[in-house]
Amino acid sequence: MRRRYEHGTDEWSHGIDLAPMLDFVVNLLIFFIVAAVFVKESAVSMRRPADADTVTPSLAAVIEIRGDGEIVLDGRAIDLRSVRANVERLLANDRKSISIVAQENAPTGVVIAVVDEIHLGGIYDITFSTVALIATAK
């Protein structure tokens, strides 16, 4: 027996239907665009000084954080646990701002812990630097 060649039946068997995949990709794109609107990034708000001259030695205390994690307040080494008490003492003496001078290789966890202790001590005016703004006595 002879087979007849049918036109049109062979055309549909030679391809992949991409329409459902395209619909799925468009739906994913819409989902992620809408979801990205609701994502709120949290960050530490920092106020940078306009000038190095804005911090004066009589008003701002200097906390230096060294590369090995050592904390130095106005030229004397202190423990992380005593930062809050020292900040409260500074606040009582009308020193309402602190300059944190951290070396480039200072541990980030120590810097954040010092900032937390300063906030708990009641001072919120903090200036960050990697270069000493005020010469401290050693």
* Residues 31/103, Cβ–Cβ less than 8 Å: no
DSSP state of 14: G
What is the topology classification, in CATH, of domain 52-129? Nucleotidyltransferase; domain 5 (3.30.420)
pLDDT score of 12: 53
What's the CA gap between 97 and 56, in Å, rounded?
A: 10
Domain boundaries, the chain: 52-129
- Return the higher-pLDDT residue of 136 and 129: 129
The mean predicted confidence, pLDDT, of the chain is: 78
Per-residue model confidence as pLDDT tens digits over 52-93? 544 444 567 889 999 898 999 888 899 999 999 999 998 888
What's the CA gap between 39 and 52, in Å, rounded?
A: 36
pLDDT score of 134: 47
DSSP state of 3: P
Helical residues (DSSP H) of the chain, grouped into ranges: 19-38, 83-92, 108-121
What's the CA gap between 117 and 136, in Å, rounded?
A: 21
What's the CA gap between 128 and 116, in Å, rounded?
A: 14
DSSP state of 83: H
pTM over 0.75: no
* Percent of the chain clearing pLDDT 90 (strictly above): 25
pLDDT score of 5: 56
- Overall average pLDDT of the 92-103 stretch: 86
The tokens describing 97, both together, are: 């701002």
- Overall average pLDDT of the 13-25 stretch: 83
pLDDT score of 113: 93
